[in-house]
Structure 1
């Protein structure tokens, strides 16, 4: 494993003080960069570990915060904050752009070579950055197949990759179909992978928290989804060897 340097970064967004996790690869040169959006429960050590893993591959990686430093263990409390956020594209964009600004300001990050990878709510935020016309090389969303305001998907300027569990009741077939129809009509380069038998948040290992019905880990598909995310980055945002 190469030397990865990490630090917390506090920044304002959504009326809160967010605390993100920045991971830098070894060296002093500019590198392609990846913004990582967490699940609706918020930023925890697992998502921070995703940033560290990407930094080990050579990327500058920033796992952003969505709840002002909080990580929710109570699903009802989490939903009370997340549902109004998901219903407000402008708020999602504000949170996304604030994090994107942090990443672009990092001297090691190449501001012209940035991708967004998000999970659940973080994936929805990544899609809203694309719908807002952000300069991105790729958008990846796992379990965050949300649709946007009419016509705005045409502003997406990069390939979109999406992954979802076939048995996810939070992202059911009708939602997947609506997402696919929106992206297809916009003329975006897109892919959708449906992981057979997987529930919502299948990619996240169990933690000490109560979960909603329909949420569950699928270790085999979790590995496959991560491999697919890395493949998206290899294609759209390669790191010079």
Structure 2
């Protein structure tokens, strides 16, 4: 039985050489494809495993890089890089489009059927791709209720799902309200899931370095959020019969 395969891909973005993780499903046919964006610390084995899981479900998946191959475990260093990035939609879009170009150029990818899934900063990048009018079939974000420049959400061309912890101090109720107001005003097909009792980065297993306050793992909600992401992909980006049969599953 053949299985999915992975390889490292290098590409330029934001003045850096990014080092992404590409996961390919078994077979040699074209498949729908998914970008996977990391939390602010940068690409880690957590996102690589998510890309691998998506490949097992039948998708081509690229876990993209945001720091030029570095993982910023020091919270101060992470915030020093991410806060200016989050304030600069053009830079976020540049990082996102560079990864999207790599994914579209992969021969196994169906370039007309691509979704973006992102966590934290990676989710903000996915949303900015949507606000820039990128041709995506779905956008899913966790911990990324970022708002964009006035009116640009009207360029989002696909359903948007967002998940957030109810106790997340980084994405408080006021931020939820601003995000939903933006989506409603733009007429986007959107949904928001609030996971009761969860903190910021509730989906991310514990790390062996300091974190900022308000961050914590919630294993049950982490599984639920993953199922919600997979459900969105199943709806908007199905792996069809002619592409190897329907697949489903969670981890």
If the length of structure 2 is used for normalisation, what is the TM-score?
Answer: 0.95
Instruction: Deviation per CA, 1:66-106: give whole Å up to 9, x if none.
Output: 00000011101100000000000000000000000000000
Q: How many corresponding residue pairs?
A: 241
- Partner residue in 2 for 1:22: 22
**Helix, strand or coil for the counterpart of 1:220?**
helix
**Helix, strand or coil for the counterpart of 2:48?**
helix
- Partner residue in 1 for 2:108: 108
Structure 2 residue 220 is matched with structure 1 residue 220: yes
Q: Confirm or deny: 8 A CA contact 1:2 1:56 kept in the other structure.
A: no
Q: Distance in 2 between matches of 1:2 and 1:91?
A: 39
Q: Distance in 2 between matches of 1:46 and 1:133?
A: 28
Q: Distance in 2 between matches of 1:184 and 1:9?
A: 37
Q: Confirm or deny: 8 A CA contact 2:6 2:23 kept in the other structure.
A: yes
- Partner residue in 1 for 2:199: 199
Pairwise CA distance, 1:2? 5.6
Pairwise CA distance, 1:207? 1.5
- Partner residue in 1 for 2:64: 64
Q: Distance in 1 between matches of 2:179 and 2:46?
A: 27
Q: Confirm or deny: 8 A CA contact 2:2 2:27 kept in the other structure.
A: no
Q: Distance in 1 between matches of 2:184 and 2:72?
A: 35
Q: Confirm or deny: 8 A CA contact 1:114 1:138 kept in the other structure.
A: yes
Q: Distance in 1 between matches of 2:6 and 2:125?
A: 23
**Helix, strand or coil for the counterpart of 1:78?**
helix
**Helix, strand or coil for the counterpart of 1:235?**
helix
- Partner residue in 1 for 2:96: 96
- Partner residue in 2 for 1:75: 75
Pairwise CA distance, 1:236? 0.3
Q: Which runs of 5+ in 1 are unaligned?
A: none
Pairwise CA distance, 1:16? 0.2
- Partner residue in 2 for 1:87: 87
Regions of 4+ moved over 6 Å: none
- Partner residue in 2 for 1:158: 158
Query: CA RMSD of the aligned region, Å?
Result: 0.8
Pairwise CA distance, 1:138? 0.1
Q: Which runs of 5+ in 2 are unaligned?
A: 246-251
- Partner residue in 2 for 1:10: 10
- Partner residue in 1 for 2:186: 186
Q: Confirm or deny: 8 A CA contact 1:2 1:25 kept in the other structure.
A: no
**Helix, strand or coil for the counterpart of 2:141?**
strand
Q: Confirm or deny: 8 A CA contact 2:18 2:65 kept in the other structure.
A: yes
- Partner residue in 2 for 1:209: 209
**Helix, strand or coil for the counterpart of 1:177?**
helix
